[in-house]
Structure 1
Amino acid sequence: MNRIEKIMEIERFKELTPIQKAIVERKNKNRDCIGISSTGSGKSHAFFMTIFEKIDLEDKNVQAVISAPTRELAYQLYERCKKISDAFGIKTKLVTGGMEKNTSTIQAQIIIGTPGRMKDLFIQENVLRLDTAKIMIIDEADMTLEFGFLEDIDQILSHMDKKIQLMVFSATIPQELQPFLKKYLYEPEWIQISTDEEYQSDVKHLLISCKHKSYKERLLDVLPCINPYICLIFANTTNQASEIADYLREHNYDLVEIHGGLESRERYKAIKAIQSQKKSYIVASDVASRGIDLDGITHVISCGFPKDINFYIHRAGRTGRVNRDGMCIALYQENDRQAIRSLEKRGIVFDQKDIKNHQIVDLKARTKTKKEDPIEIEVKKITNKKTKVKPNYKKKQREEIDRLRRKKRREMIRNDIKRQQKERAIAKLKEK
């Protein structure tokens, strides 16, 4: 049994996802690589498999470095990686901010950490030797860029072996990331998995108007209508996440709160609580939209839409994992309509819903006002015309109305004939 087969056995994988298969089956496994695939497609295990194939069990120096933009992401990668590394007898170490300072030299074959903390320990404090590494993974590269950590990565790489193999993984590759990629990656292999190829389940997108209520008030209407295994509730800011969490607790909802506004100790406890899957409700900001990796998320609720609509797609990617069904509910106000239109152009199909008697129901279609016949509008103008009454005026009025109706009808028939002729001409062109 080779190492990849053993990893699949440890993780009980029946088959590889498309991104994993593409990475594992590369012809030149020493070549730099850029892997693009959506949230929940299995990118983490794709680079784990690459690393574990390369690790020399006899060499106790740092051989592989994995960078994640947030502590939460780094911690979750560490938990997943350690399960595998323990089975192989490989030492893995987590390096993030908020941990107790260690003045002794850190020794491990795989280092997983945040850019800032790794830079400090490597360059400033000299207790972490990353210069021996043969491969470095930059996970969630777009978030690394967005949170301003690319400079730390830049400094780390400037002190590492110039021949180090770099693998960059992300859901998107923004234009602003291109200069970094050109600087450090040598003729990289691009592997992009389209949505059609990914393991996509049936995720329903529901739109529910807040009407006159705030997001948190409307949330209280929605929650009794669903019966989630785990429901992930997203806010657009840390303050909003904190307010929503406090508001739900006041209404007796037992939940986990996770966002950048928490102290390190609170965030660590929140991650532990999330991993235990003992709470049905998680209130989070977008920092967690890629960091919470649970199979049991059945519902995602967005309280409004993020400025970057890509984050809505990442939110939705938290549910419906590995061909399971999921529900993504978006609570919206009038100022969210532009975001909704943008997402619809991207292919998201929203179902308009409402809340009635603690149930999510179809929104009643607005009764359209009957469009008045343009001919009858003109007729009214004639009949309402204020003219001096003359003998036989009614007869003359009827004749004028009759002429008008004949004229308008002829125009309608001509326009209809032109339309049909155009349709026939187009059909003939298509046949040719």
Structure 2
Amino acid sequence: MNFKELTIKPFIKQALDRISFKKMTQVQEEVIPLALKGESLIVKSQTGSGKTHAFLIPLLDQLDPDEQKVQAVITAPSRELANQIYEFALELVGEQNESIRISRFVGGTDKERQIDKLANQQPHLVIGTPGRIFDLMQANALWVQTAKTMVVDEADMTFDLGFLAIVDDIASRMAENLQMMVFSATIPQQVAVFLNKYMTGPKEITIEPKQVLTDQVENYLIDIKGINREEMVYNLLTMGQPYLAIVFCNTRSYADELSEFLKSKSLKIATIHGGIPPRERNRLMKQIRNLEFQYVVASDLAARGIDIPGISHVINTELPKDLEFFVHRVGRTARNDLTGMAFTFMGPDDEDAIESLEAKGIEFTEVKYSKGELKKVDNRNRRSDRKNTQEQVQDPKVKQLINRAKKAKVKPGYKHKLKQEIKEHKRSVGRRKNKMRARQERKK
């Protein structure tokens, strides 16, 4: 579907044409017509699917510049996400539409100055983090009670970061007939409870990704057992010439530790995580976008909250605890028809996590680093073979058979006999499991 087919205000169509937006993505096709009708929506969609414009276009179309009050509120769980939405909104409004007032309220900015400005004039559209929006509401400076529409972006991340209760406080001040649109990669139980409180019969839209990762990503797996992680990161960063490389860590402390190590190797590093003061973080982000840094070390906050153009390399020093973040991390590269490389370090306890990612359709090429080059690991089944062996040893019956064989006198063909007994035992276990599943299905 083409954007020109939409019945929306001319200035939005002009802006879309100016930024070369022609055809809608799937989420835009499904969301925009319903949102324009005032429907409340629950949308499950991955990052990078075009969801930001899916809610901005109908919101901006419905704004009335003549009404001097707040008409819509968008919450985002991080400053970076809020800033990104704000920039997209300004881009759609254009310089000629000064009558439409859009305000951004995030932590780390001058709250007193914002209060003074709000005393003179309320914005039409509010975009910000839940904490700062609520602070301004408590100061009786921001009046969201008049809003007809509320968007909660990245609802699962909002919950993960502990902001859902604040979003609840904001929504509770709004009208009963509020149009609410919620966007999230997943819908945890606590988020579902929140939605039931404010939404009656919402339309639910689920956008299944056609590909978990684009074919333009070369997705490599490196077994890190017995290898120094920091040295490996340095080797990968200096092996080629990354246009822009982002290195992900699970914790702030490790991000700081790795940054210091890489700096000691004379690399210019930008470190981005929730512990970096807001002003410094904003300054670093501007420098990164201006290509003053070639290497960025970041926490998962950056995976969901930062859209840096031109990332050519991604390195996962650890698998994220929440595997959903893996796609957000690797999805930072190979955008806008460019190619990208992603390296994921695998430790001894990561077998199950890697298998879970593979079950989602993510394909890895296992490699090892040697003398400045990456070499493909020959035995593709090594990981699955090792896992099967581990599972067998954990089975009490298999343990008994192996122990009995060890104690018995060695006779010709005993190894073959042992393998046959283990195989028959596994078949028997499999048959029992299938019968149990069948019984459970019949009870449903």
TM interval, short-chain normalised? 0.7 to 0.9
Is this contact kept in 1: 2:27–2:207, CA < 8 A?
yes
For residues 324-343 of structure 1, what are the structure 2 equivalents within 5 Å? 324-343=338-357
Partner of 2:111: 101
Structure 1 stretches lacking a partner, 5+ long: 369-380, 386-400, 412-432
For residues 15-414 of structure 1, what are the structure 2 equivalents within 5 Å? 15-26=23-34, 29-87=37-95, 88-89=97-98, 90-102=100-112, 103-104=115-116, 106=118, 107-122=122-137, 124-196=138-210, 200-365=214-379
Post-superposition offset of 1:197: 7.5
The one-letter amino acid of 2:128's match is G
Cα separation, 2, equivalents of 1:274 and 1:367 = 40
> What SS is found at the alignment partner of 1:331?
strand
1:28-77 per-position Cα deviation (integer Å, ceiling 9, x unaligned): 62010112211111111111112111111222321111101011211222
Q: 1:27 to 1:69 in 2, by over 3 A?
A: closer
Quick check: 193-202 or 239-248, which moved more? 193-202
Is this contact kept in 2: 1:69–1:114, CA < 8 A?
yes
> What SS is found at the alignment partner of 1:335?
coil
The one-letter amino acid of 2:106's match is T
The one-letter amino acid of 2:68's match is K
Is this contact kept in 2: 1:19–1:43, CA < 8 A?
yes
Cα separation, 1, equivalents of 2:199 and 2:21 = 31
The one-letter amino acid of 1:67's match is T
1:403-428 per-position Cα deviation (integer Å, ceiling 9, x unaligned): x9xxx9xx9xxxxxxxxxxxxxxxxx
RMSD: 2.8
Task: Percent identity, please.
Answer: 38
The one-letter amino acid of 1:167's match is M
Quick check: 154-163 or 167-176, which moved more? 167-176
The one-letter amino acid of 2:307's match is D
> What SS is found at the alignment partner of 1:334?
coil
The one-letter amino acid of 2:123's match is A
Is this contact kept in 1: 2:75–2:152, CA < 8 A?
yes
Post-superposition offset of 1:3: 4.4
Cα separation, 2, equivalents of 1:31 and 1:366 = 50
Is this contact kept in 2: 1:142–1:170, CA < 8 A?
yes
TM-score by length of 2: 0.79
1:82-109 per-position Cα deviation (integer Å, ceiling 9, x unaligned): 2323433322111111211223252211
> What SS is found at the alignment partner of 1:31?
coil
Is this contact kept in 2: 1:139–1:170, CA < 8 A?
yes
Partner of 2:19: 11
Cα separation, 2, equivalents of 1:236 and 1:135 = 35
Tell me how many residue pairs correspond in the alignment.
378
Q: 1:16 to 1:63 in 2, by over 3 A?
A: same
The one-letter amino acid of 1:234's match is F
Q: 1:33 to 1:199 in 2, by over 3 A?
A: farther
Is this contact kept in 1: 2:251–2:299, CA < 8 A?
yes
Is this contact kept in 2: 1:96–1:117, CA < 8 A?
yes
Report which structure shows greater RCO (CA 8 Å, sep ≥6).
1
The one-letter amino acid of 2:33's match is E
Is this contact kept in 2: 1:305–1:332, CA < 8 A?
yes
TM-score by length of 1: 0.81
Q: Which has the larger radius of gyration?
A: 1
Is this contact kept in 1: 2:77–2:154, CA < 8 A?
yes
Post-superposition offset of 1:113: 0.7
Post-superposition offset of 1:4: 4.1
> What SS is found at the alignment partner of 1:217?
helix
Post-superposition offset of 1:322: 4.2
1:257-287 per-position Cα deviation (integer Å, ceiling 9, x unaligned): 1101111221121222233343222211001
The one-letter amino acid of 1:13's match is F
